[in-house]
Amino acid sequence: MKIHEYQAKAILKSFGAPVPDGQVATSARDVRKIAERIGFPAVVKAQVHVGGRGKAGGVKLANKLAELEAAADSILGMLIKGTKVHKILIETAANIDHEYYIGIVIDRARKNPVMMVSAAGGVDIEEVAAKTPEKILKIYIKRHLGILSFQVRQATYFLDLPRGTAKSFSLITQALYGAFMAKDCSLAEINPLVLTKDGEMMCCDAKMNFDDNALWRHPDIEAMRDEEEEEPLETAARKKRVSYVKLNGNIGCIVNGAGLAMTTMDMVKHFGGEPANFLDIGGGAKAEQVTEALRIVTSDPNVKTVLFNIFGGIVRCDLVAKGILEALATLDLTLPIVIRLSGTNEEEARAMLKDTALLAMPTMSEAAKEAVEVSQR
Ligand code: GDP
Ligand code: MN
């Protein structure tokens, strides 16, 4: 799950990192009040879940109220990489002397977090990583030790930070790492981490992504979700406890169990087709999830055929069949639907589906093959 910059900054602040004074707004009418409190120069920043806002014109500086209002007005409603701006962050502008990068992700191979720092921070860090990787220092963190002071010192020298900023930099690394671990982040970064002309360190941008599988233990983070920024089909799926990931093919797959869903996608590919999605209706799926899954999958205009692959272990095949029939009664679908149902109550399920247009297949491979053939007709 992603959150906005203003939310990530609030988290960083609660962990002791210095962030500019500011406030989020949804209308240009709010600007005057915020400006009266924080003063000038100020900066207006689009709050969207995509990067590269600076280059897209979504970050603007202002020295007086008229400029700030004009900037807010132009940024609200602007499109950044196809995403409409509904919120802006207005904050005290930093007087920038230098921009650094600092970020933490999980290094899967080492099974530990890795902190990356660079003196070439700012808007082009991806290019730095691709073209001049020697400008990025990687610090491997051991979870049972945390960031150690020698590692912070190493980063300080690598970045060539001026005297007097070491303590503040150390606090920022600890705050970023503390937040990363405590909130189960998959990524936490500050870019730019700014050295101001007054010699102070300031977190001028912040980004945090969270591990979806750990969200259940972070209701405070879940409450930060902004559905306006998310893929509508994936949001609808999450609400019904269906796990759905949209892909680019034309065979909509509806499967119970993540492993079986992966296998089904492999089978579709094996027979020369392309899956339109990953979808797991879950172990204990009831008719409601089946209906919702069918609705979601067929809302994708690319889908030409639907392939059900259900193994009745915990879930009962007759309940899935009931769900399919209920869904068909409400959804008005003309697409061919291929089904493989096997396991608990499969005979009952087949009997229920016998006099319908559904193509019931006895095995997974026959079903996948049939779905591919039908989609190519
Ligand atoms: P991003 O492009 O989406 O990563 O947005 P950022 O928040 O990182 O802003 C992009 C760039 O705008 C930064 O690299 C800075 O150069 C500039 N910028 C952001 N905040 C300030 C500020 O407070 N003062 C000044 N002078 N520049 C800023
Ligand atoms: Mn940035």
> CA distances (Å), 103 to each of 14, 173, 189, in order?
18, 9, 4
Report how far ligand 2's centroid is from the alpha carbon of 204 (Å): 8
Answer whether 183's CB lies under 8 Å from 158's CB: no
Angle between helices 166-182 and 5-14 (to 10 degrees): 110
First to last CA, the chain: 39
Number of the ligand 1 atom closest to the C-alpha atom of 99: 14
Which pLDDT band, with edges at 50, 70 and 90, does 152 fall under?
very high
* pLDDT score for 180: 98
Report how far ligand 2's centroid is from the alpha carbon of 124 (Å): 9
Which residues are near ligand 1 (CB < 6 Å)? 43, 45, 51-54, 59, 61, 93-94, 96, 99, 122-123, 191-192, 204-205
Integer Cα distance of 280 and 93 in angstroms: 46
140 labelled catalytic: no
Is the pLDDT score of 362 beyond 90? no
- Burial class of residue 74 (count of CB atoms within 10 Å of its CB; 0-12, 13-18, 19+): middle
Report how far ligand 2's centroid is from the alpha carbon of 125 (Å): 9
Which of 257-264's residues contact partners 24+ apart within 8 Å by CB, and which partners?
A: 257/283, 257/311, 260/309, 260/311, 261/309, 263/364, 264/307, 264/309, 264/364, 264/368
| H-helix segments, the chain | 5-14, 31-38, 65-75, 125-131, 149-159, 166-182, 219-222, 232-239, 258-270, 287-299, 317-331, 346-353, 364-376
Tens of pLDDT, residues 296-318: 999 999 999 999 999 988 888 89
Nearest residue to 23 (alpha-carbon basis) of 172, 39, 103: 39
Integer Cα distance of 377 and 359 in angstroms: 15
Write down the pTM of the prediction: 0.82
DSSP for 87-108 reads EEEEEEPP-EEEEEEEEEEEET
Report how far ligand 2's centroid is from the alpha carbon of 343 (Å): 52
Nearest ligand for residue 52 CA? 1
Tens of pLDDT, residues 117-126: 999 999 789 8
* pLDDT score for 64: 97
Nearest ligand for residue 40 CA? 1
Buried b (16+ CB within 10 A) or exposed e, 309-340: bbbbeebbbbbbbbbbbebbeeeeeeebbbbb
Which pLDDT band, with edges at 50, 70 and 90, does 320 fall under?
confident
Tens of pLDDT, residues 169-205: 999 999 999 999 999 999 999 999 999 999 999 999 9
Closest-CA residue, ligand 1 atom 16, reads 122
Please tell me which residue, 346 or 231, carries the higher pLDDT value: 346
Is the pLDDT score of 323 beyond 90? no
Is the pLDDT score of 11 beyond 80? yes
Domains, the chain, ordered by start:
21-92 (3.30.1490.20), 96-222 (3.30.470.20), 231-375 (3.40.50.261)
- Burial class of residue 77 (count of CB atoms within 10 Å of its CB; 0-12, 13-18, 19+): exposed
Tens of pLDDT, residues 43-96: 999 999 998 999 999 999 999 999 999 999 999 999 999 899 999 999 999 999
With a CB cutoff of 8 Å and minimum separation 6, the contacts of 350 are 321, 341, 360
* pLDDT score for 330: 85
Give the residue, out of 96, 201, 207, with the most ligand 1 atoms within 8 A of its beta carbon, to mutate for a pocket test: 96
* pLDDT score for 123: 78
Nearest ligand for residue 81 CA? 1
* pLDDT score for 336: 94
Integer Cα distance of 27 and 47 in angstroms: 13
pLDDT above 70 covers a percentage of the chain that reads 99
Side chain identity at residue 363, one-letter code:
T
Mean pLDDT of 251-255: 96
Name the token pair of 113.
Answer: 């977090």
Which residue in the list 5, 91, 99, 189 is annotated as catalytic? 189
- Burial class of residue 75 (count of CB atoms within 10 Å of its CB; 0-12, 13-18, 19+): buried
Nearest residue to 8 (alpha-carbon basis) of 151, 131, 152, 186: 186
Number of the ligand 1 atom closest to the C-alpha atom of 205: 7
Q: What is the DSSP letter of 275?
A: B
189 labelled catalytic: yes
DSSP for 156-208 reads HHHHTPPTT-HHHHHHHHHHHHHHHHHTTEEEEEEEEEEEETTS-EEE---EE
Mean pLDDT of 282-288: 74
* pLDDT score for 222: 97
- Over its C-alpha atoms, the chain yields an Rg (Å, rounded) of 26
Residue whose tokens read 């095995």: 363
Tens of pLDDT, residues 265-278: 999 999 999 999 99
* pLDDT score for 290: 86
* pLDDT score for 61: 98
Report how far ligand 1's centroid is from the alpha carbon of 169 (Å): 19
Ranking 98-102, 119-123, 145-149, 267-271 by mean pLDDT, the lowest is 119-123
